[in-house]
Structure 1
Amino acid sequence: MENEMEQFAKKSATKKKGVSALCLQETEQLLAVLLDEQYKNLIKIVNAPEYGEWCFYPIKDKNNLKKTFDDVVRNTKLKRTEGLPSAFIAIAENGTGNFLCMMSGESRIYHKNHEHEEPEEIFSNLKEFIQHAEAFES
């Protein structure tokens, strides 16, 4: 599946070096979640990818702390204090206060509009989101 995600990594506007499986494991432990396999395989190739207006939060990489300060863990914890259920992981934002998230152990992509209570399912998986990211605006 990792090779399959290479084509999606190439579509990213940014080309930051991916992270190790250990970095992803640490993120899962810190948030008490399971990250989706497509997501993990993408982030192993390109950390903090960008698709359309959506900028993915990086996974903290101890070898590159300056570029991964504002990471998935920090943003997810912040959003949880603002009411995001603990089963969700905040993965990307568009600069408007809206963000994308996933549920622990699931592949579906949710959109959290800052004006609404609950995240809304918008895509069945990460590949589907990337294929439609340019057209998806919130």
Structure 2
Amino acid sequence: MRIETNLPGFTLETIEAVEQELGSRLPNGLREAWLYDNKFEVGEWFFYPIKDERFFNKTWDDIIRANRDERQLPEDFITVAANGSGDELGFLTSDVETIYIWLYETDELERVADSIDAFVEVVRLELDVIETFCERVLESETVFGLSAEANDGWAYAPSVIEATDVLLFFSTRERALACKAEEWEDYHLIELPLDLFVAGWLPNMADDGLLCGLDWSSDLKGMEYEPETVLETIEEAD
């Protein structure tokens, strides 16, 4: 994993000293990143830095401080990043490569990736998809979809990450029409004004616990997003 920042990295000896204080080896991708840089940000996740006295104001909230006992993190869980909402990203000392999210509100661990590199790759892909989607719909002021009925309903698929459904939205007419195949061959193209999508659909979907599938491929595979995330990204890009 290589994420460039404006703070310098560390020697392997320094990284190993941090590991000794934490009581665990760190994921390989994170060890490699710290050889070159310090204090990373990937999507909504802010990675704890290694404390550097040369840049104390930027690194005081370091990874060792983040894992102090008084924080009451799950047993054998070491956090490496936070999202600002109370959730923590990290690993278990029994398996330092597999990455988990500790969900603050439910006090549960959710396995999210086989490695820190895989996690970063997925986050970057998610950012690319949602940012491109929002740019296109802001330009056209239209969101596209499919429906079995001409004037009612919306195409959806079961989520692969949660026990809910994913409503599919497309940034262009062509992307929506590409999914008119097999059981969806007779579906109708729907054009939804962007202002209605933002003011009505996304808030209602959030209330109903539904997810957004943005610009899925013709084989009905793609990224799933919380409606709140889509709404926030549109508002930031507008």
TM tier, smaller: 0.7 to 0.9
**Which string of whole-angstrom CA distances, capped at 9 and with x for unpartnered residues, describes residues 16-65 of structure 1?**
22122222122112121111222100121221111111110001224433
1:128 pairs, out of 107, 118, 121, with 118
Question: What does 1:104-119 align with in structure 2 at a 5 Å threshold?
Answer: 104=93, 106-119=96-109
Aligned-residue CA RMSD (Å)? 2.2
Where do 4+ consecutive residues of structure 1 move more than 4 Å?
Answer: none
* 8 Å CA contact 1:33, 1:87 repeated in 2: no
* 8 Å CA contact 2:27, 2:115 repeated in 1: no
2:62 pairs with 1:68? no
Q: Are the structure 2 counterparts of residues 16 and 23 from structure 1 closer, same or farther at C-alpha, using a change threshold of 3 Å?
A: same
In terms of Rg, which structure is larger? 2
Number of aligned residue pairs: give it.
127
- Name the counterpart of 2:73: 84
TM-score calculated relative to the size of structure 2: 0.48
- Name the counterpart of 2:82: 93
Query: What amino acid sits opposite 2:80 in the alignment?
Result: I
Question: What does 1:38-57 align with in structure 2 at a 5 Å threshold?
Answer: 38-57=29-48
Say which SS state the counterpart of residue 3 (structure 2) adopts.
helix
Once the two structures are TM-superposed, the CA of residue 86 in structure 1 deviates from its matched residue by: 4.2
- Name the counterpart of 1:31: 22
**Unpaired segments of 5 or more residues in structure 2?**
128-224, 227-238
Q: Are the structure 2 counterparts of residues 108 and 15 from structure 1 closer, same or farther at C-alpha, using a change threshold of 3 Å?
A: farther
**Unpaired segments of 5 or more residues in structure 1?**
none
TM-score calculated relative to the size of structure 1: 0.79
> With CA pairs under 8 Å and 6+ residues apart, which has the higher RCO, 1 or 2?
1
- Name the counterpart of 2:3: 9
